């Protein structure tokens, strides 16, 4: 059976978040936001190892011994997400086979559920290409003109909001990122190579923390789950 490993690109600056330190190192429910994202990937034993890709200055911010070798730092973050993921793939070239699965998850997406992760893996582990978690667009979409007035209403039929994890074979993903270093995510790099990634139904609570208000929402989601689990 092919191995499945995860990569968390955690070298971003979080400029839109408005804080001095990168948002992945902001506290959420008493733990670093990044720690919640790491833990979300450890909920399924099929994810063998989680590699967190960092800048050198940030390696000491986490206690790596707490995960007993299942979570490992890679100090090779680049200036973009695509560069960071490709650097990690290159660093792992002696450890992974061409057909091994690489799961990439946002370092600031802390609310992935175990059920969502397991459904994702169940759906994709035998797929020829791979895919991503996503949710159908439900809101009415508007395209603006230069003055920010509505130019047109966009048909939302067939439109999905991309999430992570996104998962593809090691060799295929390497080639895709080498050819499309400006890609916004792994799926777009694969699409540029002519592949059609599979959309796997995600959950609306699997939010990405981009702005401070998102941190409040993430706290509400995680706290609510804890309270539900504590009920007799």
- What's the start-to-end Cα distance of the chain, in Å? 39
8 φ/ψ angles, rounded to the nearest 5 degrees = -115, 105
193/216 Cα distance (integer angstroms): 38
Cα(87)–Cα(76) distance, rounded to whole angstroms?
6
User: 10 Å Cβ neighbour count for 188?
Assistant: 16
Compute φ and ψ for 142, nearest 5 degrees. -120, 135
Is the confidence at residue 231, as pLDDT, over 70?
no
Q: Which domain holds residue 159?
A: 4-230
Once rounded to an integer, what is the mean pLDDT over residues 31-40? 97
For the chain, state the CA radius of gyration: 18
Note the pLDDT tens digit of each residue in 115-166. 999 999 999 999 999 999 999 999 999 999 988 899 999 999 999 999 999 9
Q: What is the model's pTM?
A: 0.93
Q: What is the pLDDT of residue 17?
A: 57
For 54-183, where are the alpha helices, taking DSSP H only?
81-91, 114-124, 170-179
For residue 105, give the CATH number of its domain. 3.90.550.10
């Amino acid at each position: 059976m092919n191995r499945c490993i995860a990569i968390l690109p955690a070298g971003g600056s979080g400029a839109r978040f408005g804080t001095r330190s990168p948002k992945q190192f902001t506290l959420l429910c008493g733990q670093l936001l990044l720690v919640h994202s790491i833990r979300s990937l450890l909920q399924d034993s099929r994810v063998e190892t989680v590699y967190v890709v960092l800048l050198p200055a940030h390696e000491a911010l986490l206690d790596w011994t707490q995960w007993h070798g299942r979570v490992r730092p890679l100090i090779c973050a680049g200036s973009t997400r695509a560069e960071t993921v490709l650097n990690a793939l290159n660093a792992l070239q002696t450890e992974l086979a061409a057909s091994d699965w690489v799961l990439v998850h946002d370092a600031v997406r802390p609310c992935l559920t175990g059920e969502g992760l397991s459904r994702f893996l169940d759906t994709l582990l035998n797929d020829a290409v791979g895919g991503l978690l996503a949710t159908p667009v439900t809101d009415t979409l508007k395209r603006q003109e230069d003055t920010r007035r509505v130019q047109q209403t966009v048909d939302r039929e067939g439109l999905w909001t991309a999430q992570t994890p996104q998962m593809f074979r090691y060799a295929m993903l390497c080639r895709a990122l080498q050819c499309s270093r400006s890609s916004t995510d792994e799926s777009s790099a694969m699409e540029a190579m002519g592949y059609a990634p599979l959309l796997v139904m995600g959950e609306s609570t699997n939010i990405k923390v981009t702005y401070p208000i998102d941190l409040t929402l993430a706290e509400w989601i995680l706290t609510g789950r804890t309270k539900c689990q504590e009920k007799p």
